[in-house]
Amino acid sequence: MASDFTRGEIRVLSDTASEWARKHPEFYFSERSSRREQIERHLVDGACAVGADDATLIRCGEWSVVGSAHDWFIDRRIPLPDDLDFENMPASPELGQNSTPAEFVIAAFAAGIVVHDRHGTRVIRDDSRAPAAVHDLIAGHPQWTRAIAFALTES
């Protein structure tokens, strides 16, 4: 049975989606494994869901790098733009109902983000941890058309 809501019962959130996520990490993470492991698994699974079956995870110190010869941004039903800022994520119906793209979770919880695509490699967010080794790792995989590297903030 549906009930009608009155204007007084509806609350408009003033936080951005990323701010809300940071205040409520329990909606994104379980206690069974580390946040890093959960985001890594979510990113690889999301890439595979849209055809990047060769998605590869490599750890580089505190950084996690997922790369593929298949650009998983392009083949989504709602393609992601190359200049994605990781703050405003479109839906990803391929992941299932009410699923959150890993890229959004990365945006909410990562201190550093590096992206590689057909235009090159760029830093989306840098926490001054000098990710030169991450750039070298990505450069060492010329077959990758898409890679996302991230380092989490302290939880």
Confidence band of 25 (pLDDT split at 50, 70, 90)? confident
The answer, yes or no, to whether residue 137 has pLDDT greater than 90, is yes
Say what the pLDDT of residue 3 is: 63
Residue 95 CB neighbours (<10 A): 17
What pTM value is reported for the model? 0.81
Mean pLDDT of 87-107: 74
C-alpha angle with apex 21: 9 to 73, nearest 5 degrees? 120
pLDDT at 55: 97
The residues spanned by each domain of the chain are 27-152
Q: Is the pLDDT at 144 greater than 80, yes or no?
A: yes
Residue entry with tokens 């996690």? 64
**Sequence-separated (6 or more) residues with CB below 8 Å from residue 31:** none
Q: Is the pLDDT of residue 36 over 50?
A: yes
Q: What region, left, alpha or beta, does residue 61 occupy, with left being phi > 0 and alpha being psi -120 to 50 degrees?
A: left
With cut-offs at 50, 70 and 90, classify the pLDDT of residue 1.
Answer: very low
Average pLDDT, integer, range 4-31: 77
